[in-house]
Structure 1
Amino acid sequence: MRSPLTLLGAAVLLSATAHGQSIDAQKITFDYVRLPLVPLPAGTHSYSPEVALRYTDAVKQQKADHETAVADAKSKAEKDKQEYKAQSLKEKALNRLLLDQHKPGEAVIPMADYAAQVYDAKTLASTYVNLSGLQRAQGADGDLRVLVSLDGYTQGPVTPVATQGSLKVSASATGPGTKHGYEVSYKSPVSVKVTAKDGTVLSDELIEATTAYTVVNTETFLGDEELNNYWRKNQMAFLRQLDENIMKTNMKLVAEYLDSKFGQRPITRNTAITVVSDKKINYDEYPQAYMKALMGYKLLADPTRAADAQKQIGEAVALWDKALAESNPKDKKARIDEKVTAATLYNDAEANLWMNKFDEAEMLLARLKLLDISRYNNMAKELGVVVQDQRTRYTANKKS
């Protein structure tokens, strides 16, 4: 089956036939250093990671309560045996006849509820608590203290569910039927607190995504008895796997949260610069602008070369702006016709973004959307998201 074209892949195929034009979207990749959403205090170079398990006491109490329940069950069973043993034969016969009381059996041990796993906090901290652009301190003397607090696996409702479907009724035939299983819900809330060396709290948040219940289904069986047998044998292993899965998922969310809020790491950008050419009409500014923009974009990975990057990108913008000055989208014979205008607007908007001229970038994208060319609408929407994110980060750091 043919795979759908990606947004960038589709852009590469852009072409126009007017004047024998060739409109080629050249795929490019470059890195840029993403600014943090929360600016760090001047002189911040290191951080001390810590993970706190806030549920360990609850787990200890849960296990202690179960041990008490087991001891009580055994004590009661032993007491019943002694009382039965102290009865005369006549009392035993009468109790059996009148009260249907028989010889006491062994203690009925209550089944333990699943207890959240208690992980190694230091291992979690070293594995998942990272801040790009900063050094991990050897002890607790980092410029930042990053505290990740786990509330542990929390069991939600376990609900019987029945599903209708086609079941095998014989070796060669199937028929409609009902399968039975359980729907299991669970969560594991996580909080993150980041504090500067002077005690200033930079962030103290409950990661919202970790507060919602996740729902999964067990295997299904033809009858309730089979389901119950399966659950008795496999419940603990099933829930333990959910516990491990959600811990890893949530700690990855923590890593993403910290990186976005406070990190300064290189981000790879995949985009395109469109180059226009024609055998009869001069479009020399387009390959020139392409080379200048590409050189400028490649310099964004090195903050010390910011001025050089701005110079190269600015020269590309000047060429595209000059071309847009003669834009005539309604004239198919114009040098800067509708399709060339659209390609130029996108090139120009991307370049203005990396010059931190966000208003200009958004204005160019607005002009592009007015042309209402579906493929460019999609590209403008994606670029608009990047513009908003960069504007937010740039503004926050500029204020600081």
Structure 2
Amino acid sequence: MKNALLFIIAFFAIATAFSQKPYKEKASFDYIRLALQPLPSDIKNYKGEVILTYKEKVNGERDARQAQIDAANEKNAKARKEYDDKSFGEKLGNKALLGTKGPTIVDVPVHENYYPIIHNESSVAGTYLKINGYGSAPDNSLKITAYLDGFQYTTEEKMANKSVKKDGATVVVNTFAYLVRYKHPIKLIIESEAAGVIYEGYVEATNREITAKTKYYNSREELQNYWTAGQNGFLGPLDTRISKLCMEATNDELNSLYGVSKITREISVWLVKGKKYDYADYQSAYEYAVMGYGKLAEEGSNAKAFEYIKKGIDGWEAALKESEPKNKKARVNDKVTAVTRLNLAEAYIWINDYSNAELQLDKTRFLDLNKFTRLAAKQKGLVDDQKARFEANK
């Protein structure tokens, strides 16, 4: 027993002595994101127009409802006047023969269906139809027309069980709510004077439904009464929210396709610490790379940025020559190898060496370490996006 205890203590002492622990340092930098579909060099400006495809329908429904209210009020006013003009004897006669105690009054509509927000077209165009790197002017311009289909929603009754106490016993009762699915589709048509229509289609993000749910009520009747009286209060904030989200998505789409944008990226750069081994080379590579990242968006500093980033790459590549993924005690074991390759993949992206970036991510996945495999898969999206933009702008 004593020998076994001594063995365990010795084992953990050795493991601790050889412990290599990767850790992350946060870094934030700006870079210039190129257009996915670069515009011809003669286009210098843009002009935007917004068309509300639902405006006429909504205004027509509102006008029709107001006409119903006006007609009901007019009919009731006429009935009251006719009743007031009757003699006392005629009123008594009507009461005796017809059982009427007063004028015949029709119901005036009180609750109304929800009407989508009618947005200010010029305000939406001025705020959301903008392309970074271009001016807003009619000359040498790209024409952007956004067709807003307005707030659209459907309701679906949902039923859930609830346990309640009744007469000292627990019983299960049904409760009812509405599940609301909603969206605000926006279609873009983009035209140039020389080429005509260069893009036509719905912004994908604006066609995705979002869901919301009312509270549960104890009966269908209670739910319907709530909805009749309170749907405007429930749907209004949803309309406001989805309108803003979809307009922002439209602006993002425009700038992803055609804009030249300064983007802020936040990353984690991996370093390593351990009791037995010195990892000063990782600190040095980190410092060089971060200095380079910080110069990516500075005008005229691209060459300097590349110089620093390449020094960081040299440091990490040199460390990989010691890689022994199957030797847990090695200075560059499996986990240290994985984080080194993730660092390299990020660095290769920013010197436009996408083949090497992809290679580093592939080799990270081959290590079969779940955490780092997930990180590599996430980073692959940026590699693909930046590569496509670089190729499009050659």
TM-score, normalisation: structure 1: 0.76
Partner of 1:39: 38
Deviations 1:43-76 (A, max 9, x none): 5443323221122222233234435555776799
Asked if structure 1 preserves the Cα contact closer than 8 Å seen for 2:53 and 2:148, the reply is yes
For the pair 1:118 / 2:118, whether they are aligned, the reply is yes
Deviations 1:75-116 (A, max 9, x none): 99899999xx9xx9xxx99x98xxx99998323445654333
Deviations 1:308-346 (A, max 9, x none): 111221232233323323433334555544343323222
Deviations 1:335-368 (A, max 9, x none): 5443433232222222111111111111111112
RMSD value, Cα: 3.9
Partner of 2:301: 305
Q: 1:270 aligns with which of 266, 272, 296?
A: 266
Partner of 2:145: 147
In the TM superposition, what are the counterparts of 1:42-81 in structure 2 within 5 Å? Answer: 42-67=41-66, 69=68
Asked if structure 2 preserves the Cα contact closer than 8 Å seen for 1:156 and 1:213, the reply is no
CA distance in 1, matches of 2:153, 2:279: 65
Partner of 1:131: 131
Instruction: Determine helix, strand or coil for the equivalent of 2:24.
Output: strand
Structure 2, unaligned stretches of length 5 or more? 1-14
Q: 1:319 aligns with which of 302, 305, 315?
A: 315
CA distance in 2, matches of 1:168, 1:120: 53
Asked if structure 2 preserves the Cα contact closer than 8 Å seen for 1:46 and 1:143, the reply is yes
Q: Which 10-residue stretch deviates more, 319-328 or 292-301?
A: 319-328
1:280 CA displacement: 6.3
CA distance in 1, matches of 2:274, 2:229: 73
Deviations 1:279-331 (A, max 9, x none): 76565543332222122111112252111111221232233323323433334
CA distance in 2, matches of 1:232, 1:277: 64
1:147 CA displacement: 2.1
TM-score, normalisation: structure 2: 0.77
Asked if structure 1 preserves the Cα contact closer than 8 Å seen for 2:19 and 2:329, the reply is no
CA distance in 2, matches of 1:160, 1:150: 28
1:29 CA displacement: 2.1
Instruction: Determine helix, strand or coil for the equivalent of 1:299.
Output: coil
For the pair 1:248 / 2:247, whether they are aligned, the reply is no
1:20 CA displacement: 6.1
Asked if structure 2 preserves the Cα contact closer than 8 Å seen for 1:38 and 1:202, the reply is no
In the TM superposition, what are the counterparts of 1:371-386 in structure 2 within 5 Å? Answer: 371-386=367-382
CA distance in 1, matches of 2:327, 2:225: 76
Deviations 1:163-183 (A, max 9, x none): 32144769x997533333333
Instruction: Determine helix, strand or coil for the equivalent of 2:313.
Output: helix
Partner of 1:165: 162
Asked if structure 1 preserves the Cα contact closer than 8 Å seen for 2:20 and 2:336, the reply is no
CA distance in 2, matches of 1:330, 1:214: 47
Count of paired positions: 371
Partner of 1:393: 389
Partner of 1:288: 284
Asked if structure 1 preserves the Cα contact closer than 8 Å seen for 2:309 and 2:351, the reply is yes
CA distance in 2, matches of 1:264, 1:242: 32
CA distance in 2, matches of 1:190, 1:140: 23
For the pair 1:156 / 2:154, whether they are aligned, the reply is yes
Give the AA of the match of 1:375: K
CA distance in 2, matches of 1:174, 1:38: 64
Asked if structure 2 preserves the Cα contact closer than 8 Å seen for 1:149 and 1:190, the reply is yes
